[in-house]
Structure 1
Amino acid sequence: MSSVPGVTPGQPYLFTRSYHQPWRALLVAAGGFGAAALLLFVVDATGPMWAGMPGWIAAVASIFAANAPLIIAVVAAAAFTSIVGFARATGIRHWVWTDLLYGLFVGIVARAVVELLAPTLGGFGGPLGGALSGDATLALAIAASAAVLISPIIEELYFRGLMVRALVDALSDAGRVGASIVAVTTSTAAFVLLHVVAAGSLVPVGLIIGSLVVGVGCGVLTVVTGRLWAAIVAHVLYNASGLALLLW
């Protein structure tokens, strides 16, 4: 019988080792996080410069700053610290129909929690806020596409597909439950921090609560299912529902 690299006899295929050099993968992740935080800070600090440009340019700059370093880190980690390939390392190779149900459930619960504690009142914060005052329609379309499709997928690939899975591998000696708790906690803290940086000088309470709930929910989905799709569905639904409330 053939074996899969990184799988010990009797070990469920669902929980194969994602990153064979997990600490190096986490080092790559740290570099991506630092680069994203720095770029977001620069975009926010140079806000007056963006005010004189078409709104869509500021929108693209903000989206690039938040997402480009993260996806580069994910690709680099999969290429240089894993021997199972990008799709298997991040957990997106396999899809089970229950992932959709789990994702919908967590996404709805996360949005409900946020709306109960800090109802959405409308308006975009951070660098994008100024962008929407210019070419409103185009900037809004770009921002909406990023919020519903681009950012959730890239953030899940990075925070859960890279960080959570690499941490679980790195801390395997602590047992799967212990490693999972540390992985979800650490990735959620980083997830919240990056969103706070992205918000700039205005950090709504709802943003912190939402980032915390989504971080924990998607992290738990990742370690429980061993796949990434449920987390992606939850994150996309959460962001889409938030955008709908903003535009209501």
Structure 2
Amino acid sequence: MLLAWSVLSLGLGILAGYAVVAALPTAPWAGAAATVLLWLGMLVPVVLALRRSRPIGLFRFRATDLLVGIAFGIVLRLGQGWFQQTVQGEAGFPGILLIDGRIPVSWWLLEALPTGIVAPVIEELFFRVVLLVALYSLLRRPFGHVAAGIAAASLTTLAFVAVHLIGGMPSSDTLLSLTLVGAVCAVLVLLTGRIWPAVLAHVVYNVTGLGLAVVGALAG
């Protein structure tokens, strides 16, 4: 039932976002509104799941989680650079539209903060706390721990990638990077039994990408 509610809520969030963009195609805030609606679609099942039950230790934080998260976040970013280098022949800096030679304040508020902090936290809560745990719990008894873990990690990684395709089909190297991020974060939760290594790895991955964009803009 929780999985069904999650899919329904996510679908409604996606449809609501498309509706806003279609109804107000020229509004500068339409994209941001669509993203917020998508996040709300993810947060509803998170709230429902945590009100019903909370796996023991899932939100427990240990000092090693910080080290693991930072290390894997950097590895994921290096992997993204390697994929880009392999597919495109070079690894370039992400772009930022400068205004009068400066990074606009709006970029920090509407791009950096949501992408670097808000999105990773919401996505990890939805894909790992809700979907991964629900799938693993559902499959563990009939198929065993290992098979359930592999299946749950694979399915949630596919869902993670699919949601990131809403805005359009990305390049093959971006697709590979998304798959790697989803898979690594799922495995971190399964191996540690805690959510924070995955959250921190995801945050570090996104923040380092934003950092490269800032360096590229200032250097250019």
TM-score, normalised to structure 2, is: 0.82
Partner in structure 1 of residue 100 of structure 2: none
Provide the C-alpha distance between the structure 1 equivalents of 2:68 and 2:117, rounded to a whole number of angstroms.
19
Partner in structure 1 of residue 118 of structure 2: 150
Say if 1:227 and 1:193 are closer, same or farther in 2 by CA, change over 3 A.
same
Provide the C-alpha distance between the structure 1 equivalents of 2:214 and 2:17, rounded to a whole number of angstroms.
24
Q: 1:1-248 alignment to 2 at 5 Å?
A: 24-45=1-22, 48-50=25-27, 53=28, 57-58=29-30, 60-79=32-51, 82=52, 84-85=53-54, 88=55, 91-92=58-59, 94-118=60-84, 119-123=91-95, 136-173=104-141, 174-197=143-166, 199-200=167-168, 203-248=170-215
Superposition CA RMSD, Å: 2.4
Provide the C-alpha distance between the structure 2 equivalents of 1:227 and 1:195, rounded to a whole number of angstroms.
24
Provide the C-alpha distance between the structure 2 equivalents of 1:62 and 1:144, rounded to a whole number of angstroms.
17
TM-score, normalised to structure 1, is: 0.74
Structure 1 residue 226 displacement after superposition: 0.6
Provide the C-alpha distance between the structure 1 equivalents of 2:30 and 2:191, rounded to a whole number of angstroms.
38
Provide the C-alpha distance between the structure 1 equivalents of 2:33 and 2:162, rounded to a whole number of angstroms.
20
Unpaired stretches in structure 1, ≥5 consecutive residues: 1-23, 130-134
Structure 1 residue 43 displacement after superposition: 4.7
Contact 1:43 1:61 in 2 (8 A): yes
Structure 1 residue 66 displacement after superposition: 2.7
Count of residue pairs the alignment pairs up? 203
* Percent identical: 30
Structure 1 residue 144 displacement after superposition: 0.9
Matched residue type, 2:199:
I
Matched residue type, 2:3:
L
Matched residue type, 2:33:
A
